[in-house]
């Protein structure tokens, strides 16, 4: 991990102290994100700041920048997707507190106050991943589906036609 990023912190103490952390994490240190990547080469630059806003809402401001190696689902080539995360997470103790958060905040449930900062950064990067990664500028594959496939299917023998021979008589 990063020397400037503790394993766990007490979120409420960090808010009171208005602490901030910044540094670089290797992508290989993020196990849940690693499974979605084509390679684990690279790193993510992050900044995490704890504070309270004018309304007294405790939050953590997460910023992260990375070039995530993904596999294009059109060309099956590896490409680096630039990702920029900039979000405010309102700290809540129970799910019912989510409704009290002002707009612009995403909820972060931290029951006992213990928080793994690397997990928060990893969660935000996972949320930034596209559902279907496509390399910018890759050629779109066009295929017409419909009539040609229907005629091919009509020429093939039906595997259930054997069942016509063994129909049971109605009683």
Which residue's structure tokens are 């009539």? 147
Instruction: Give the residue ranges of DSSP H helices in the chain.
Output: 11-17, 31-34, 117-128, 147-155
Per-residue model confidence (pLDDT) at position 38: 92
φ and ψ at residue 10, rounded to 5 degrees: -90, 110
Residues in the chain: 171
CA–CA dist 50, 65 (Å, integer): 18
The closest alpha carbon to 83, from 115, 119, 46, belongs to: 46
Tokens of 118: 């690397």
CA–CA dist 24, 44 (Å, integer): 6
Q: What is the pTM of this model?
A: 0.77
3-state secondary structure of 123: helix
CA–CA dist 158, 121 (Å, integer): 53
pLDDT in tens, the chain (171 residues): 445 688 899 999 999 999 999 999 999 999 999 999 999 989 999 999 999 999 999 999 999 999 999 999 888 899 999 999 999 999 999 998 899 899 999 999 998 888 999 999 999 999 999 999 988 877 776 666 666 666 666 678 888 877 777 777 776
Tokens of 61: 């401001």
Q: Are 51 and 105 in contact (CB under 8 A)?
A: no
CA distances from 56 to 6, 31, 100, 102, 108 (A): 25, 34, 12, 11, 16
CA distances from 55 to 106, 154, 168 (A): 16, 67, 75
């Amino acid at each position: 991990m990063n020397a400037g990023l503790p394993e766990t912190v007490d979120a409420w103490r960090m808010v009171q102290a208005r602490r901030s952390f910044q540094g670089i994490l290797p992508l290989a240190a993020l196990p849940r994100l690693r499974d979605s990547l084509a390679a684990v080469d690279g790193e993510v630059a992050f900044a995490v700041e704890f504070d309270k806003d004018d309304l007294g809402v405790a939050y953590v401001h997460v910023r992260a920048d990375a070039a995530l190696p993904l596999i294009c689902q059109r060309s099956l080539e590896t490409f680096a997707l630039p990702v920029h995360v900039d979000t405010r997470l309102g700290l809540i103790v129970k799910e019912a507190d989510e409704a009290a958060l002002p707009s612009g905040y995403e909820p972060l449930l931290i029951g006992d106050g213990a928080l793994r900062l690397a997990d928060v950064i990893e969660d935000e990067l996972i949320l930034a991943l596209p559902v279907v990664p496509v390399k910018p500028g890759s050629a779109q594959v066009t295929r017409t589906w419909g009539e040609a496939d229907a005629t091919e299917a009509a020429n093939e023998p039906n595997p259930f036609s054997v069942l016509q021979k063994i129909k049971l008589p109605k009683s």
